[in-house]
Amino acid sequence: MNFDLTEYPPIVQQIAGYGVQGYDLAMGWLLSPAAWSQFAILVGAYLFAVLIARRLRPALKTLIDPQDKQNMFTAPRLFMMQFLPLILPLLAYALTGIGEQVVRTIFDTGAVIAFGKRVFLFLAVRAFVRDILKDPFLQLLGRFMMLPIAALYTFGLLDVVTLQLSETVVGVGNIRFSLISVARGLIAGSLLFWLGQWSNSQTSALIEKQEMRPSIRQLLIKTVEFMIFGFAFLVLMNIMGINLGALAVLGGAIGVGLGFGLQKIASNFISGVILLVEGQATVGDYVELDGGESGKIVKMTARAAILETFDGRWIVVPNEDFITTRVVNFSDQGSANRYEAPFSVSYDTDINLVPAIIEAAVSTHPEVLDLPYPPDCELRGFGDSGIDFAVEFWVNGLDDGPNKYTSDVLFLIWNALKDNGIEIPYPHRTIEIKGNKQMGLPE
């Protein structure tokens, strides 16, 4: 086949050249007895692989399938069972490799059977991406990275494409790099950082199960996270061929930036580490700062702590504020808090009876504690309309949100006073009108 393509662009001539080579190769295979024998070996290898897989796969499934779901070997066995779909293409690939050795010994050629072996390898990669990869990110990477690379390898174009990408150099300013380094970086970076994320989640789950202070647990989790992703970054730089010595200059520049423009960020980061080590305020504590911010700490990051108020709002407080200002910690991981409920009684009341009545009533509340102190009713003063009292009581938790301790105690006080005939006063005012003649009123 000869075509005059001198008038066409070079890319068209190159594609046409590959087409002619493929046509000549196909015709050579169709007219060659050695090629037909290789086709026969391919078909035989595939049928033999199907026969073996039909018998081997059920046996392996019975052997690997865990009967006891609570066994320590359950997870590894379930992991191994995922690879059963690869048995058929890998068996065909192995049997074809044996046939290739025989054909090359007899005919001193094996192009056809080598192509068939690569096809079986492509089918194995396809089954791996379709049936084994469950993670959405890995499936995406398999469809758009692994399958195209396997297809190029199957048709013998992988070396050609790799060479073309290696010779294509692009530049950004004074930095120049080849497209193959970009592709290698994308693939390696995706795998490394996915593996880092998976390792970080597994390590965090393991640390969460350990018995230690919550602050130390959070510090360990953050430390492991920085170590994993730092190691992944260094490995990626090495894979892409970037000189790690150049990072020293970058690190120096970052250090200068931290010293001048990023002082607050560095201060908040160090303050966060101090908070995690000391444990004076950690996740789950209800705190109140000098600036008026108050809420439950729901998350602590490298820069700030996030407080959630009882009305559902989130307040982001820099870590530095916990170190440089006064912080009131109401929770301290579940310690008791004292509250008081004020009330008044009439001046006609025998006030000597009130403390015992109120303390007994408040003690009936299921959340009121006897330790460190039982309910204590105290006389506070003599008001305009009545005698002022207040009862102090201790509870575990905060008197807000889902808890209504003061409200419950006031109900108990009301009912106890009513049951004992004690009057709760309300303001009285006496108005005296003088000077009726001056106002034109009748006497």
H or E stretch covering 171: strand 169-172
- Tell me which of 151-155, 258-262, 411-415 is least confident: 258-262
Q: Which residue has the tokens 């006030």?
A: 351
pLDDT of 387? 93
Distance CA 299, CA 287 (A): 13
H or E stretch covering 18: helix 10-30
Contact by Cβ (8 Å): 113, 43? no
Could you tell me the two tokens for 146? 């692994």
Residue ranges in 65-144 assigned as alpha helix (H): 74-81, 87-107, 111-127, 136-141
Q: Reduce the secondary structure of 233-283 to three states and give it as a string.
A: HHHHHHHCCCCCCHHHHHHHHHHHHHHHCCHHHHHHHHHHHHHHHHCCCCC
Give SS3 for 351.
coil
pLDDT of 419? 92
pLDDT, one tens digit per residue, over 324-341 is 888 888 775 556 888 999
Q: With pLDDT > 90 as the criterion, what percentage of the chain qualifies?
A: 14
Q: With pLDDT > 70 as the criterion, what percentage of the chain qualifies?
A: 76
Closest by Cα among 39, 50, 31 to 103: 39
pLDDT of 264? 74
pLDDT above 70 (res 157): yes
- Tell me which of 22-31, 69-78, 271-280 is least confident: 22-31
Closest by Cα among 287, 370, 270 to 327: 287
Residues 67-95: what's their mean pLDDT?
75
Could you tell me the two tokens for 145? 């990275």
Determine the straight-line distance between the first and last CA of the chain, rounded to whole angstroms: 136
Domain ranges of the chain: 32-156, 177-260, 263-329, 336-419
Give SS3 for 146.
helix
Which sign, positive or negative, has the C-alpha torsion 127, 130, 133, 134?
negative
Distance CA 418, CA 414 (A): 6
pLDDT of 379? 94
pLDDT of 85? 82
pTM: 0.47
**Top-confidence residue, 380 or 230:** 380
pLDDT of 434? 73
263-329, CATH topology level? SH3 type barrels. (2.30.30)
Q: % helix / strand / coil in the chain, to the nearest 5?
A: 55, 15, 30
Could you tell me the two tokens for 20? 């002619």
Sequence-separated (6 or more) residues with CB below 8 Å from residue 338: 373, 392, 393, 394
Contact by Cβ (8 Å): 391, 409? yes
pLDDT, one tens digit per residue, over 49-64 is 888 888 888 887 777 7
Closest by Cα among 94, 92, 153, 97 to 122: 153
Residues 289-312: what's their mean pLDDT?
82
Q: How many CA atoms lie within 13 A of 403 on its CB side?
A: 14
pLDDT of 391? 95
Q: Do domains 263-329 and 336-419 have the same CATH topology?
A: no
Categorize the per-residue pLDDT at 252 as very low, low, confident or very high, splitting at 50, 70 and 90: low
Closest by Cα among 81, 58, 207 to 73: 81
Burial 129-156 (b: 16+ CB within 10 A, else e): beeebeeeebeebbeebbbebbebbbee
336-419, CATH topology level? Alpha-Beta Plaits (3.30.70)
Categorize the per-residue pLDDT at 138 as very low, low, confident or very high, splitting at 50, 70 and 90: confident
pLDDT of 84? 81
Mean pLDDT of the chain: 78
pLDDT above 90 (res 242): no
Distance CA 381, CA 344 (A): 9
